[in-house]
Amino acid sequence: MSPNSKLFKTGLLLLALALFLGGCRKDNDEWDNRTADEMYAEAKAYLEKNNWRGAVRTYRELQTRYPFGRYAEQAQLEMAYAFYRAGQPELALSTADRFIRMYPAHPNLDYAFYIRGLTNYDQRIGFLEKLMPDRVRDRDQSVALEAFRDFDQLTRRFPDSRYAPDARQRMVYLRNAMSAYEIDVANYYLRRKAYVAAANRARYLLETYPGSPEAGNALVVLNKAYNELDLPQLADDSMRVLEHNNPQHPYLTGEDDEGFFSKIWPFD
C-alpha cells in the first residue's frame, strides 16, 4: 500500500471520528438543555414506573443543575422516597434528615417525617410482620422505637396531616410490639429467678406503655416477683390492680398456662 493511500485512509478515519464525536456532543448538548420542568417530569415518570434508580439519578441531576429552582426542594423529598422504595434505608434516612434540617418550614415537612418512620418501620418490623407476625415481639426494638418517635413527631406537629391516620395506626402496633418484648424479657428474668430485674422490667412496661394489652401480664410478673422477694404488701397491691382492671385475666381464673413453645421462645 502506497504512503498516499495510507494517508488517505487515516484522514477518512479521523474525519469519521470527528463527525461521530461532534454528533455525540450535539446530543449531549441537547440533553443538557433540558429544563427543570422536563427533568422533574422525567424523574416523576421513573417513580411511576417503579424505576427507583432512574428516579434517583434524575433527581440528583436536577438538584445539581438547578439547585435554587422551585423543584430542588421537592426533588430531595421525593428522592428520599425513591431510596426507601429501592431498599436503601441509610440513604433514605440521611436524605430525609437533610430535608428536615434544610427546610424546617416546608409545607411538605410532614412527609419527610413519614418517610423516616416508614423506613425505620420496614427496616426491622415490616418484613417480619408479613412473614411471622407473632415473632415481631422477639426482635431488638431499638429501630421500632425510632419509627415510633418519627410517627409521634408527625402526629404531634402535624395532627391534620394526610399521613397522620396511618402513622397513628402504626404507632399502636409498634407500642404493642415493644410492650410485648418487655413482658417477654420480664418473664425471662422470672424463669432465671432474677426477681428484682423482672419487677423492674414490669414496672417499666406499665410506666412507658400505659393501656398496653400486656399491662395485665406485667401485673402478674410483679405479683410473682414480689412474692418471691417476700414483699407481700406490694404483691397484694399488684393483685388488687389486676383484679380491678382485668378480672378475667387467666392468672386470676386459673388458666395461666403459657404452653411449651411459649416457654422456650426466645430465651430458653
pTM check: above 0.85: no
The confidence score (pLDDT) of residue 192 equals: 95
Q: In angstroms, rounded to a whole number, what is the distance separating the alpha carbons of residues 153 and 41?
A: 31
The confidence score (pLDDT) of residue 123 equals: 78
Q: Where would I find the H helices in the chain?
A: 3-32, 36-48, 52-65, 72-85, 89-102, 109-121, 127-131, 142-157, 164-191, 195-208, 215-228, 232-245, 250-253, 260-264
* Residue 91 phi, psi (nearest 5): -70, -35
| Ranges under pLDDT 70 in the chain | 1-32, 124-140, 256-268
Q: In angstroms, rounded to a whole number, what is the distance separating the alpha carbons of residues 243 and 245?
A: 6
Q: Where are the domains of the chain?
A: 35-87
The confidence score (pLDDT) of residue 142 equals: 80
pLDDT tens digit sequence for 162-173:
999 999 999 998
Q: In angstroms, rounded to a whole number, what is the distance separating the alpha carbons of residues 81 and 201?
A: 37
User: C-alpha grid cell for residue 18?
Assistant: 470527528
pLDDT tens digit sequence for 105-136:
999 999 999 999 999 988 766 544 444 444 44
